[in-house]
A = this chain, B = another copy of it.
């Protein structure tokens, strides 16, 4: 008997046994199998999956009718509304690429993004007509504007363009047969990085990655069919961490939300029996510190995912106290949002709360569909020891990593050097294999040859009752190379002096890690609410 390694591999792909993976298929399934189930809640509007499928097909057909095709970019500037949700499917159905713009950005940045992505159309919610008017005015050949006239918008801005979203949909056939992508590697969306470290880069996602990450959100979070999901996380953040597509895969109900504030959040959870939501730490803090009466009738399990910054222990503890189940996830724009999670162990529940908080606050392990997440010593290129001490750079590899940066071959090559996606985050591997971020690479302070984690100092400062927020950066120093410099924003009505802060830190940190410089005042933030450390580094360098 001859050994023939090609014995099994001579059978080729054909239309009967191969199909490109695409999350638009989840919508088709939801619309065909559960046409009557509620897909979207927005104010008094209730839209079923059957209607949503038909509307997305109309959208795809209308776009095609206006000459939009595979590889064309379609931008949108809108809060978490049904139109933004539908835009996650309609363009993808004809191979077009969605660029959901961050609604907090300024006109110049928006103009840059529209130019850079070569957007042919831009959908604009009336609330953002003024900033988009300014942005378009800065462009040589601005895209065609489609206005989204959301009935829940209660402002008085006039529409910007001449075509309304609903009128556009009326141009399309609700029975349109979507061709889908030619290849699962084709682009589905463009998401710009937040630009804390310089120019925003255009991160390109593909259908395969979006499909796998959408499924994995459900798999990793045990999200059941017909979950009810509240849109506290902006859909413009990594396509809502791919949850726009996850909700279709689980035939859930999307509860839209124009305004992210404690009262509308808790009122939506109560009224619509919300079971799941995601958000940055601030969203969870809103819930924790909201008036207790707003939570009174919420007596079912609610699960939240938190990412975007390491959650302080007070937040993890606060969520546990109000009975919400919080899971920490980690990822970047380049990894479709979460590509790691702090997978919980039953045995942790038996530990004292403070230990649970430490365990659950870690970045954790790769998503089950991500091939690898590890920490690499930047000098040796080897994985660091699992000692919880040795710092290295967090690296991902696998299907939950972007295609690359648009029109930026050098940044793409740099990000993918040595077969890894380089996150720029520094961390350690703990003995159980869970990864914990120590710091952004550029936020590490190197003082007297020792690496100091600015995050560790900030974590200590955050626990001081008078401190609202803080940021620690490196200040150049002739003797030590660098020393930690703390910028501190106090809570309203509170006062502190420099010596008190330093003494407070010395009680809680190794001496060399304590700030040598303390500056009080408001902290500068980006449009997404992240503290602009690069600006603080400039300020620290200029200090006398």
Contacts and interface: CB of A to CB of B under 8 A. Distances in A.
Interface of A: 1-9, 11-19, 21, 25-26, 29, 32-34, 36, 69-73, 97, 115, 118, 120, 140-141, 185-187, 190, 204, 215, 218-219, 222, 224-226, 249-250, 343, 345-347, 365-366, 368-369, 371, 396-399, 401-407, 412, 415-416, 419-421, 433
B419 A15 contact: yes
Contact of A399 (B6, B18, B371, B415): B18
Contact of A186 (B9, B120, B345): B9
B7 A404 contact: no
A474 to B, nearest CB: 29
A249 B32 contact: no
B34 A343 contact: yes
Contacts of A186: 8-9
Contacts of A29: 365-366, 368
B33 A371 contact: no
A331 to B, nearest CB: 14
B17 A416 contact: yes
The A contact surface, by secondary structure, is: loop
A345 B34 contact: yes
B14 A416 contact: yes
What is the count of identical protomers in the complex? 2
Given A1-B141, A16-B416, A219-B215, A8 B204 contact: yes
Contact of A17 (B17, B190, B365, B421): B421
Contacts of A1: 115, 118, 140-141
22 contacts: A4-B118, A5-B69, A5-B72, A7-B73, A7-B407, A8-B71, A8-B403, A9-B186, A11-B404, A13-B185, A17-B399, A18-B398, A18-B399, A19-B397, A19-B398, A19-B399, A21-B399, A25-B371, A33-B365, A215-B215, A218-B219, A219-B219
Contacts of A14: 416, 419
A343 B19 CA distance: 22
A92 to B, nearest CB: 12
A130 B421 CA distance: 54
Given A16-B397, A17-B421, A421-B17, A406 B34 contact: no
A285 B19 CA distance: 37
Nearest to A416: B16
Given A25-B371, A225-B222, A433-B33, A3 B416 contact: no
B70 A5 contact: yes
**Which of A3, A371, A416, A419 has its CB near the most chain B CB atoms (within 10 A)?**
A371
A44 B118 CA distance: 64
Nearest to A220: B225
A269 to B, nearest CB: 21
Given A219-B215, A224-B222, A416-B16, A7 B368 contact: no
Contacts of A3: 72, 118, 120
Nearest 7 A/B pairs, CB to CB: A5-B71, A8-B187, A11-B404, A15-B419, A19-B371, A11-B403, A17-B401
